[in-house]
């Protein structure tokens, strides 16, 4: 194993400014600790808010009970909605192609906010 004196001297030279001015190093460390303290305080506040929200949701969910009859009714309602949508799709696909493309051109994409306004008949 060879000792590289040049690398050792270079490393010492890089560390000398920190060793020669420890007050600067201490000052930087104290600033970093203050910043970390501020961040931790904000994180604690945020986590407290999340905890309160989670507790309120937990309370709401605990008070909401689903009986087997209610689940059966919800499942039946979803099945009826799905069957109705399949009927609409089937009737739409039974229309002539010219009518389907005209209907598609009249549709405007929505984000779910409000349905598009009907176009004037002229």
CA distance to 108, 110, 117, per residue, from 114 (Å): 11, 7, 9
Same domain, 15 and 58: yes
Residue 115 lies in a domain: no
Same domain, 34 and 78: no
CA atoms of 39 and 32, how far apart (whole Å): 11
Same domain, 45 and 23: yes
Residue 121 lies in a domain: no
Query: Residue 68 has what pLDDT?
Result: 84
Same domain, 21 and 60: yes
**Longest alpha-carbon distance in the chain:** 92
Q: Which residues of 49-63 are buried (b: 16+ CB within 10 A; e: fewer)?
A: eeeeeeeeeeeeeee
Same domain, 37 and 48: yes
Q: How many structural domains are present in the chain? A: 2
Query: Residue 77 has what pLDDT?
Result: 94
Same domain, 59 and 98: no
Residue 54 lies in a domain: yes
Query: Residue 121 has what pLDDT?
Result: 59
Same domain, 54 and 79: no
Query: Residue 52 has what pLDDT?
Result: 94
Same domain, 47 and 24: yes
Residue 117 lies in a domain: no
Taking only the tens place, the pLDDT of each residue in 3-60 is 777 887 887 777 776 666 777 777 888 888 899 999 999 999 999 999 999 999 888 8
Mean pLDDT score of the chain:
79
CA distance to 67, 88, 95, 109, per residue, from 98 (Å): 49, 18, 8, 20
Residue 19 lies in a domain: yes
CA atoms of 105 and 74, how far apart (whole Å): 35
DSSP 114: S
Lowest mean pLDDT among 37-41, 44-48, 63-67, 107-111: 107-111
Residue 96 structural domain: 66-107
DSSP 112: S
């Amino acid at each position: 194993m060879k000792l590289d004196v040049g690398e050792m001297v270079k490393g010492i030279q890089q560390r000398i400014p920190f060793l020669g001015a420890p007050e600067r190093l201490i000052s930087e460390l104290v600033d970093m600790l203050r910043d970390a303290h501020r961040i931790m305080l904000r994180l604690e506040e945020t986590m407290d808010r999340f905890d309160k929200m989670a507790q309120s949701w937990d309370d709401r969910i605990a008070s909401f009970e689903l009986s087997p009859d209610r689940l059966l009714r919800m499942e039946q309602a979803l099945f009826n909605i799905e069957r109705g949508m399949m009927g609409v799709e089937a009737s739409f696909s039974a229309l002539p192609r010219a009518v389907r493309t005209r209907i598609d051109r009249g549709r405007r994409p929505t984000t779910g906010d409000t349905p598009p306004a009907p176009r004037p008949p002229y």
